[in-house]
Amino acid sequence: MEQFKLQWEPERRLFTVRELNTLIRGMLVDEFDDIWVAGEISGCRQASSGHCYFTLKDEESQLKCACFRNTARYLKFKPQDGMAVLVRGHIDVYEARGEYQLLVETLQPQGYGALQFAFEQLKKKLAAEGLFEAARKRPLPAFPRHIGVVTSPDGAAIRDLLHVLERRFPGLHVRLYPVLVQGEGSIDAVCRGIRYFSESAWAEVLIVARGGGSLEDLWTFNEEAVARAIASSLVPVISAIGHETDFTIADFVADLRAPTPSAAAELVTCTRQELVKRIAGAQDSLARMMRFRLSQAARHLHESGVERATSLLYRAIGHRLQHIDDLDYRLRNRVRAVSEMKHRQFVELEARVRRQDVRLRFAAVRRRLERAQESVRQSMKLRLARARGRFEPVAAHLSQLSPLRILERGYAIIENERGEIVKSAVQAPADSLIQVRLAKDRLTARVSKA
């Protein structure tokens, strides 16, 4: 029987922990290779290595997720706690802790496009830093002669822009910095173009332009690096991205937004006809002003001959009136000086009378008496304090030597009928009365045995 039981006993399979985790990992990776999971982000943290870790949860369960640096750097927005998302990835096992987790490959917000969410997220961040404030916007030069352009050399934007500039104001100097306006490498190229014109100080105004397209096509101009390059530019920047209905982060940061590249060319220049018209207007205004000034000078010259005699008479009368004013001023000063002198004499006499007032003398004597009384009082307090200081140690010493202190410790003084203090039994024979003096009160006792 024992041999039969041993024959049918199942074979024991023994794994190490690593072997078991590796086996489970292989099963999960094969089964859940490309999946989408919906949930809410919780406990999101960014490690110093660049990896991002968070927990995806719903009402009843949760799943650990890891987004490695090479994936996190290409996410269109940053994961945040409380965000409802759709996550694409595959299940893997972290063998060091024996935990399975979802390795994130793509992250999309639920009910909201990822690019649009990233747009709003960056817009809110830069607005909080004050990059959109109107106070930091710089005015464009009135008549720029050197215009810098950052755009693609093959696009329609540069052709439209140059055509409008040539039509409105021929002879302007335009320098193009050719860049990619979408795709890989476009962000760094646009930033380099902006920095080039900012550092070279050649251009008086800079136009960053691109033709129309979808949100994905225009995304280069929604990147934070491009926005900060525009904000730090030393040259005023006009953004001309897409069509009139297209808005990018670059539009909010730039000093001026143009609906289209052609509109940017119109904003930065005026037509030759407009300039000629403004010059003609200035000439007309200057001519009117000169005619007015000449008519004023002619009238003054005409009036000066007729009024010369009258002006001489008025001048003589004015001199006399001025002399009268001087005399009046001197008289007023003299009266004021005499009045002030009499007032000072009155004040001095009044002070002398007050000094002779008996009440003031009595008050002074009373103050001296009060000070003397206070001095005597202080002196007596001081002498009493010194006497008390000498008396209290003597009284304390005397109290220590007093026999009454001995009685307070339970002793007694015994006197016989003759009033003598009993020091031996012979002084108090049997059947005699004795007085016992205690710390408090006295006792009368009779000696029963000597």
Amino acid 160: pLDDT = 87
For 185: left if phi > 0, alpha if psi spans -120 to 50, otherwise beta; the answer is left
Amino acid 184: pLDDT = 86
Q: Which residue has the higher pLDDT, 312 or 287?
A: 287
Percent of the chain with pLDDT over 90: 8
For the beta sheet containing 205-210, the strands, ordered from the edge strand earlier in sequence to the opposite edge, are 173-178, 146-151, 205-210, 237-241, 256-257
**CATH class of the region 17-112:** mainly beta
Distance of alpha carbon 250 from alpha carbon 240, whole angstroms: 9
pLDDT greater than 50 at residue 398? yes
pLDDT greater than 80 at residue 384? yes
The mean-pLDDT minimum among 103-112, 157-166, 173-182, 260-269 falls in: 103-112
Amino acid 27: pLDDT = 77
For 25-74, the pLDDT digits (tens) are 777 777 788 888 888 888 888 888 888 999 888 878 888 999 988 888 87
pLDDT greater than 50 at residue 188? yes
Residue in 104, 95, 122 with CA at minimum distance from that of residue 37: 104
Q: Which residue has the higher pLDDT, 238 or 309?
A: 238
What number of CA atoms fall less than 13 Å from residue 137's CA on the CB side?
A: 15
pLDDT greater than 60 at residue 286? yes
Mean pLDDT within 336-343:
86
- Confidence class of residue 1 from pLDDT cuts 50, 70 and 90? very low
- Provide the pairing of β-strand 62-67 with 205-210: unpaired
For the beta sheet containing 413-415, the strands, ordered from the edge strand earlier in sequence to the opposite edge, are 413-415, 433-437, 442-446
Amino acid 190: pLDDT = 92
The angle at the Cα of 445, spanning 440 to 448, to the nearest 5 degrees, equals 145
Amino acid 388: pLDDT = 87
pLDDT greater than 60 at residue 292? yes
Alpha-carbon torsion 278, 279, 280, 283, what sign? positive
pLDDT greater than 70 at residue 422? yes
The pLDDT mean for the chain works out to 82
pLDDT greater than 80 at residue 111? no
Query: CB atoms < 10 A from the CB of 375, how many?
Result: 10
Q: What CATH number was assigned to the domain covering residues 121-270?
A: 3.40.50.9100
Q: Which residue has the higher pLDDT, 409 or 226?
A: 226
Distance of alpha carbon 193 from alpha carbon 179, whole angstroms: 7
| Domain layout of the chain by residue ranges | 17-112, 121-270, 407-446
Amino acid 316: pLDDT = 74
